[in-house]
């Protein structure tokens, strides 16, 4: 019989599923193993055993065992590092955090390690938890996640003819091609969305700026609308669906306006 090996990782809960009488299957995003599925035995019978560690977007140190470094892991132990209480106390923040988690889940596959993506989730949940909740945060998360997943949109020059951003008057974003286009190249692309240069410049700044300085970038109303539209349509095009949490978030934000 193959022996089970014991591993340790830092992990966020992406989602959970009830299993059998008393167990729960938990999907984590970990620093060392990427996306990982494990069974938390007895999690529904005894709340004490895993405490808050297997609630959505909790961050914990998990100890698990599995055979041959693959297959369903058995979660042996979880120690909560951050439960994000301030996020959980605020409906809008909770949904925004759920959106980040849903995006991470959709853009990752099991067993593929990406420590930078793990750090991105950690940094941005930290930003929401520390009180920053403007809409810009969601756009910068989307942009950075796209980049780390290999889908970075081309925003610096026309995707087709290479005309630089500053040398073109009207620009468009093409969700099909994942980049901006000048007016000439956008003519035959019915999917292309008009966008202002100011919006693209803000996104380019938000893509690179240090996390501690991110709150300095404040979008105009027009830029908020445009950036949400172009990144949203690009993500929808890649995933082929709308994400539930984003729809709920948009509804709540409209109600609060």
Residues near Zn ion, by CB under 5 A:
158, 160-161, 163, 182, 185
Q: Between 170 and 208, whose beta carbon lies closer to Zn ion?
A: 170
For residue 216, how many other CB atoms are within 10 A of its CB? 9
CB-hemisphere CA count at 13 Å for 236? 13
**Nearest-approach distance from CB 222 to Zn ion, in angstroms:** 23
Q: Which of 133, 134, 109, 156 is nearest to 14 (CA)?
A: 109
The CA-CA-CA angle for residues 63, 67, 71, to 5°, reads: 85
Q: Residue 238 and residue 152: Cα distance in Å, rounded?
A: 12
> Residue 158 Cβ, how far from Zn ion at the closest point, in Å?
3
CB of 151 to Zn ion, least distance (A): 21
Nearer to Zn ion, 60 or 192 (CB): 192
Nearer to Zn ion, 17 or 161 (CB): 161
Buried b (16+ CB within 10 A) or exposed e, 45-59: eeeebbebbbbbbbb
Minimum CB separation of residue 136 from Zn ion in Å reads 28
- 34 bridge partner residues: 30
CB of 232 to Zn ion, least distance (A): 23
Smaller CB separation from Zn ion, 95 or 182: 182
Cα–Cα distance between 118 and 130 in angstroms, integer? 18
Cα 139 to Cα 77: distance, rounded to the nearest angstrom:
35
Q: How far is the CB of 193 from Zn ion (least distance, A)?
A: 15
Q: Tell me the CB-side half-sphere exposure of residue 14, using CA atoms within 13 A.
A: 22
Q: Based on CB atoms, which residue is closest to Zn ion, 30 or 192?
A: 192
Enter the DSSP assignment of 164: B
Q: Which is nearer to Zn ion, 58 or 192 (CB)?
A: 192
């Amino acid at each position: 019989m193959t022996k089970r090996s014991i591993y340790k990782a830092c992990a966020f809960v992406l989602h959970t599923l009830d299993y059998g009488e008393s167990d729960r299957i938990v999907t984590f995003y970990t620093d060392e193993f990427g996306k990982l599925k494990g069974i938390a035995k007895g999690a529904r019978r005894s709340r004490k055993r895993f405490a808050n560690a297997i609630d959505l977007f909790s961050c914990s140190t998990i100890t698990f065992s599995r055979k041959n470094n693959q297959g369903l892991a058995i979660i042996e132990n979880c120690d909560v590092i951050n439960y994000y209480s301030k996020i959980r106390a605020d409906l809008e923040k909770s949904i925004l955090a759920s959106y980040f988690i849903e995006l991470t889940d959709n853009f990752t596959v099991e067993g593929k390690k990406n420590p930078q993506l793990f750090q991105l989730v950690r940094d941005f949940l930290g930003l929401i938890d520390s009180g920053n909740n403007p809409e810009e945060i969601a756009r910068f998360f989307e942009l950075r996640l796209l980049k780390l997943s290999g889908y970075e949109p081309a925003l610096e020059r026309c995707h087709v003819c290479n005309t630089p951003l500053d040398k073109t008057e009207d620009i468009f974003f093409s969700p099909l091609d994942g980049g901006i286009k000048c007016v000439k190249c956008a003519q035959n692309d019915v999917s292309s969305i008009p966008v202002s240069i100011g919006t693209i410049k803000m996104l380019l700044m938000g893509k690179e700026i240090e996390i501690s300085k991110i709150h300095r970038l404040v979008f105009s109303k027009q830029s908020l609308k445009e950036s949400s539209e172009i990144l949203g349509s690009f993500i929808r095009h890649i995933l082929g669906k709308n994400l539930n949490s984003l729809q709920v978030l948009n509804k709540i934000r409209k109600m609060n306006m």
